[in-house]
Amino acid sequence: MSIQTIGVIGAGQMGNGIAHVMALAGYDVLMTDISQEALDAALAGIDGNMARQVSRGKIAEADMTAAMKRIGTTLALSDLGASDLVIEAATERESVKQAIFEDLQPHLQPHTILTSNTSSISITRLASRTDRPERFMGFHFMNPVPVMQLVELIRGIATDEPTYTACREVVDRLGKTAASAEDFPGFIVNRILMPMINEAVYTLYEGVGNVQSIDQSMKLGANHPMGPLELADFIGLDTCLAIMNVLHDGLADTKYRPCPLLTKYVEAGWLGRKTQRGFYDYRGEVPVPTR
């Protein structure tokens, strides 16, 4: 099938990034959220990010103008039912995602493909709660969406080949690279990345190194662009903890046990950049390690 219209559920950092790249690729996008403020903020964010791309010569101003005109917003989830492809990018909680798909289902076209941007939740389980498990799959973008080149495409047990092919064609049109992953906890990227971050937190917890020495060691010793604790703050410590819990619960292996210090930071509400404090304190001009 030919996908022309895209519905995006959630206007947060991931949702607005997805709307951004889809509109630039020529798709008509309709984005929804539970508040008008969130939608307005998302549009302003997309406009600012595209303007930055124009200033750097990445895109033409005419392309930006055309792309912004392709993005619509609505507070009514049902309006997304007419889309060819729906990408859910709501909070990383399974109950929230299930409720969204349940509310949207009566309004869907027969051909509509449903996808989730989940970073770790079972695609098979999410799909089983809908009326179209064969037209459901994982569509996992990396953050920040306009910059990162990879998209994980995750088939559930029931996902059919035309659905996979249609989503793969969308990734190709975006100019990004698709990695096919099987539906096991964490998929590929987070199955490898999150245990590394968790081990960095254990290294801090056990006093092997402090925040600065751990991050410097991985940046200079392993040539990583960001240290693991800096990266955890960027992702969000609550998201890191949620993914570690999915790995631990789904694979039942003690090597995926979340570090107690990670849990403690989340309990404190120190979730990283989005709350101004995590492994670093971002309230001043320069981030300062908190341990």
Query: 223's torsion region: left (phi>0), alpha (psi -120 to 50) or beta?
Result: left
Q: Is 69 annotated among the ligand-binding residues?
A: no
- Residue 14 marked as a ligand binder: yes
Alpha carbon distance 171, 142 (integer Å): 13
11 annotated among ligand-binding-site residues: yes
Residue 17 annotated as binding?
A: no
57 is in an annotated binding site: no
143 is in an annotated binding site: yes
Strands (E), 5-145: 5-9, 28-32, 71-74, 85-88, 113-116, 136-141
Catalytic-residue membership of 16: no
CA distances for 21 relative to 27, 71, 80, 166, angstroms: 9, 11, 18, 17
Selecting among 83, 122, 140, 230, the annotated active-site residue is: 140
Active-site position among 83, 122, 190, 198: 190
Q: How far apart are CA 217 and CA 212, in angstroms?
A: 8
Catalytic residue among 16, 83, 119, 198: 119
> Does residue 223 carry a catalytic annotation?
no
22 is in an annotated binding site: no
Find out whether 58 is annotated in a ligand binding site. no
Structure tokens at 98: 């299930």
From 122, 152, 198, 230, active-site residue: 152
User: Active site includes 190?
Assistant: yes
CB 119 within 8 A of CB 190: yes
Active site residue 198: no
Annotated binding-site positions: 10-15, 33, 92, 97, 119, 143, 274
Catalytic residues: 119, 140, 152, 190
Annotated binding-site positions for NAD(+): 10-15, 33, 92, 97, 119, 143, 274
